[in-house]
Amino acid sequence: MREYRAKRSTLVFTLGFLGVLTLLTIFGVFFAEPRLFFVAFLLVLAWRWKQILKTPVKIQVKDDDTIEFRGLIGRVELSPDRINRVMRVGKGYWVEYPEGSLNVYGNMEGLEDFLSYLKSANPALEVKPFTWLQQR
């Protein structure tokens, strides 16, 4: 079994920054005007918290070639042939599969090894950079 983990510094920075932003927004809801702006921004932050907590912090390739993407909340298990496409988006990756997609931190330890494993396990897999004008 192979395992790839997100760097602790990335997690601390991401969760810390989002936590401070959330606290400032909650402070704005109670003590600043216009309150409606801060309430709307708080809803956006709630959506972003959900996305960040679902982002895989650990990827495990099991002995039966099943890949488990484990976030702080939830996990997704896939076989390599079910992954349609991997796109480089900024410093991270976006993994598409038939039921949805996952964001993966780009600075995970050993991520290049994982991507080469995916490409060898699924030769039809596309690994390419994201462009706005790409065809589906």
CATH number of the CATH domain containing 115: 2.30.29
**Residue 17 within any structural domain of the chain:** yes
**Residue 50 within any structural domain of the chain:** yes
Give mean pLDDT, residues 89-99.
Answer: 92
pLDDT at residue 136, rounded to an integer: 55
In this structure, what token pair is assigned to residue 66? 């099943």
pTM of the full predicted structure? Answer: 0.85
**Residue 99 within any structural domain of the chain:** yes
Residue 94 binned pLDDT confidence (cut-offs 50, 70, 90): very high
**Residue 49 within any structural domain of the chain:** yes
**Residue 125 within any structural domain of the chain:** yes
Buried/exposed code over 2-13 (b: 16+ C-beta within 10 A; e: otherwise):
eebbbeeebbee
**Whole-number average pLDDT of the chain:** 92
Q: Return the ∠ at Cα 69 (arms to 91 and 107), rounded to 5°.
A: 25
What's the DSSP call for residue 65?
Answer: S
At 33-72, the pLDDT tens digits run 899 999 999 999 999 999 999 999 999 999 999 999 999 9
> Which structural domain range is residue 17 located in?
2-129
